[in-house]
Amino acid sequence: MARIIVVTSGKGGVGKTTTSASISTGLAQKGYKTAVIDFDVGLRNLDLIMNCERRVVYDFVNVIQGEATLNQALIRDKRVDNLYILPASQTRDKEALTHEGVEKVLNEMSETFDYLVCDSPAGIEHGALMSLYFADEAIVVTNPEVSSVRDSDRILGILQSKSRRAERGDDPVKEHLLLTRYNHERVERGEMLSIEDVNDILSIPLLGVIPESQAVLNASNQGAPVILDEDTEAGQAYEDAVARLLGEERELRFLDPQKKGFLKRMFGG
C-alpha cells in the first residue's frame, strides 16, 4: 500500500512543484517505486519541470472519467528508474477532480507504488483540498516571509480538521516543514524571517532548508529536478530532505553565508 504525500502551501510561487519533482525523484533514486501526480488542473506545470510535456497523451482527468487507463496516462521518467508522472489536464475545469474519481485512481495506484507524491495547487481551492484530503503525510512548503508562513498555518489547520484521517479519527497526517529560498544574509539584514521565527509560528518538524539558488531556476528551465544537480547546494539540500523523510538523521547544511577567502576579500568576487 502506497504512502500518499501531499506537497502543499498556502501561497503560490514558493516552490511546490520544484519540491514535488525533487522529492519524488529522490524517493525513486532510493529504490522506491514512486509516482508524482499533478493536481493543478488547468495550470499544468509539473510535466515541464519533469521534461515530459511532449509525451503527454492522456492525463489525470482522462483516467478519472474513464477515457484512458492508468497505464496509458502514466509517463515513465527517462532518467530515473521507478519514477512515473501523472500529468494534469490543461483544458478541463478543476471540478473534474471528483472525490470518488480521485479516490479510485489513488487506490489503484496504491496497489503497485510505494509512494504517491501529490503536487497540490496553492491555497484552498478545489484541487488543493482534494489533494490534502487523501494525504498520509504533508510537506508544507513556505518561504521565510510573513505572508507565506501565515498562509501555511491555514493549510495546517485544514490538514488537522478536513483530511480523511481526521474524519476517520485515524493517526493525524504527518506534517513536515520545508523552508525554501532561504538567504542567511537577508535574514541578518532583517529582510527575511529566521528559521527560528518560522518554527515558532508553525511548530512542525523541519524537513529541510533549501538555500536561495540560481540552480533551482536553471534546473526548471532545463526540465530537470534540481536534486539531479548533485554539485549544487540546492540539489544536495533536497537530497538531505529526502533522507530525513525516510527517517535518516542529517544536520542542516548551507545555512551560513560562504566565507570569502583572502584573495576574494582583497580583490572582490
| Strand segments (E) across 128-193 | 137-142, 174-182
Give the HSE-up count for residue 100: Cα atoms under 13 Å, Cβ half-sphere: 2
Q: Which three cell numbers stand for residue 87?
A: 500529468
30 is in an annotated binding site: no
**Which are the contacts of 99, defined by CB distance < 8 A and separation ≥ 6?**
130, 133
User: What would the grid cell of residue 208 be?
Assistant: 529541510
Is 14 part of any known ligand binding site? yes
The grid coordinates listed for 90 are: 490543461
Q: Give per-residue burial for 107-125: e unless 16+ CB within 10 Å, then b.
A: eebbeebbbbbbbbbbbbe
Angle, alpha carbons 87-161-199 (nearest 5°)? 85
Note the Cα 53 to chain centre separation in Å.
Answer: 19
Question: Helix, strand, or coil here: 155?
Answer: helix
Encode 21-68 in three state secondary structure: HHHHHHHHHCCCCEEEEECCCCCCCHHHHCCCHHHCCCCHHHHHCCCC
The answer to whether the annotation marks 13 as part of a ligand binding site is yes
Binding site, annotated residues for ATP: 11-18
Binding site, annotated residues: 11-18
